[in-house]
Amino acid sequence: MEELANLAHGFSVALTLQNLMFMFVGITLGVLIGVLPGLGGANGIAILLPLTFSMNPTSAIIMLSCIYWGALFGGAITSILFNIPGEPWSVATTFDGYPMAQQGRAAQALTAAFTSSFVGALFAVALITFLAPLLAKFALKFGPAEFFAVQLLTFASFVGMSKEPPAKTLAAMMLGFALAAVGMDTVTGQLRMTYGFPELLKGFDFLIAVIGLFGIGEILLTMEEGLAFKGKSARISSRTVWDTWREIGRYWKTFLRSTAVGCWMGITPGGATPASFMSYGMARRLSKQPERFGQGEIQGVIAPETAAHAAGTSALLPMLTLGIPGSPTAAVLLGGLLIWGLQPGPMLFVEQKDFVWGLIASMYLGNIVGLLVVLTTVPWWAAILRIPFSVIAPVIIVICAIGAYTVHSSMFDVWMMLVFGVLGYLFKKLKYPLAPLVLALVLGDMAEASFRQAMLLSQGSLSIFWSNPLVGSIAGLALVMLLWPLWGFAQRLAIAREVAGTAGSKA
């Protein structure tokens, strides 16, 4: 096949000593960026982009993409060890990864997360290699209505598959939508709910909210419970890695399902964050023991990590073939390509064959290198669990504050982080789910923009969401998921009436 010949040529480009060195440097920097709350892959690449201007485009994009892979791997580390997502898409990993660490299974959780990330990315790169023309044509069919239908499906899936009461899930999600609406209306230019604070013109930054809700909120809750660090000491060995690999092999269906969800959300593009939430929800819904999720179930780590990496990797496909970035990080990489004089699109595969296939080959190599690096450095991260909480808590607060400040170099963000921290504490005390709030805060602006664009195109008619089989099928599935709890409620009500009727007849 022509693709295999091109890929072999790409490996000859990527497998040079210089490019391999840049891979290791990029992966190491990426893991560090992923571990530090507030930086993230996109910010890290944006900060380090000027360092690559003196490099040739192929080496530069290989290093930057490896920073991305490293950030994807590193985001799971603080999620599992401290319940602080290093990256937005690692939020779902905290649901079961952190309980596993509390139970003394940090090594198993980290190994499962890293391996799942590798598997998801590997499948996504294979899709980029062999299905680029087909998937590029499919992505061209998406307009505002299709984008909103995908986002609606994400929200509805979380309502339909959540183990929390639907009322609490919807309440948290509505608050997230309200927070997402703060700032300047992109259509009319009017200010919404800024209350005289010029810093809110751009709305609430997602990273600030996540750092506060999960990081500061968890620390406040732990302080209330007696300053006892919840993590357990862990001893990492090669035997632990092999045992974990044998165990997670039983969940091959979860791997396949999560990879499919991730690739779909990356290409459409839905994004790594909703992909991780959707995959987690599907794994819980289809599990034979859904009650174990949230208590340290290894599938709860496998599903979101596999989907997040598949989505994050496949998001590069529309960027390379169409010039449409499928994620914030892909947008930064797109800017780098333009700076180097490369125009993403179908002609890039013809005019810059060495560059394109060298990059695709580096995706395979970068993920292998990333897996080896994070697995061999697991003892360093697990050793953090042996530090007393009274020592590590101030360090976490300082790191969170630095991460919040570096987003916009503003002290206002640090204060907002503390406000979100108190909100996260209250949510946990009142047993309201944080994930729906976070999801709505992330996708609220995008969903609103897509909906309003669709309404402008249809002159206010909702029929646009059933105007073709593609958007109709997505919107229909979203409605099914949204109404799913009502079906369960109706079944329980019928059973209750039957039991009451039986009891009445006996009386």
Domain borders along the chain are 1-243+320-500
pLDDT of residue 228: 47
Give the amino acid at 125: V
Q: What is the DSSP letter of 410?
A: -
What is the b/e burial string over 103-116, where b = at least 16 CB atoms within 10 angstroms of the residue's CB?
A: eebbbbbbbbbbbb
Q: What count of other Cβ atoms lies within 10 Å of the Cβ of residue 279?
A: 30
What are the CA-CA distances from residue 505 to residues 238, 496, 497, 500 (Å)? 64, 14, 12, 9
- Residue 469: φ, ψ to 5°: -60, -35
Contact 110, 80 (CB under 8 A): yes
308 contacts: CB under 8 Å, gap ≥ 6: 72, 75, 89, 90, 92, 117, 120, 262, 272, 273, 275, 276
230 contacts: CB under 8 Å, gap ≥ 6: 98, 101, 102, 222, 389
What are the CA-CA distances from residue 99 to residues 40, 234, 291, 466 (Å)? 24, 14, 14, 42
Q: What count of other Cβ atoms lies within 10 Å of the Cβ of residue 41?
A: 31
Q: What count of other Cβ atoms lies within 10 Å of the Cβ of residue 306?
A: 35
| 299-314 helix and 57-82 helix, angle to the nearest 10 degrees | 160
The span from the CA of 158 to the CA of 147, in Å, is: 17
Measured between alpha carbons, how far apart are the two ends of the chain, in Å?
Answer: 77
Contact 198, 376 (CB under 8 A): no
pLDDT of residue 47: 61
User: For the chain (length 507 residues), average pLDDT per consecutive 10?
Assistant: 73 82 85 65 64 75 81 77 70 83 81 86 84 60 78 76 75 88 79 81 76 76 60 57 80 87 74 79 81 82 87 78 64 70 68 77 84 76 60 75 76 87 87 79 79 87 85 84 73 68 61
Tokens of 184: 């300047």
What are the CA-CA distances from residue 43 to residues 68, 317, 339 (Å)? 10, 20, 17
The span from the CA of 273 to the CA of 151, in Å, is: 12
Give the amino acid at 161: M
User: If we measure between CA atoms, which residue out of 60, 48, 53, 71 comes closest to residue 23?
Assistant: 60
180 contacts: CB under 8 Å, gap ≥ 6: 203, 204, 440, 441, 442, 443, 444, 445, 448
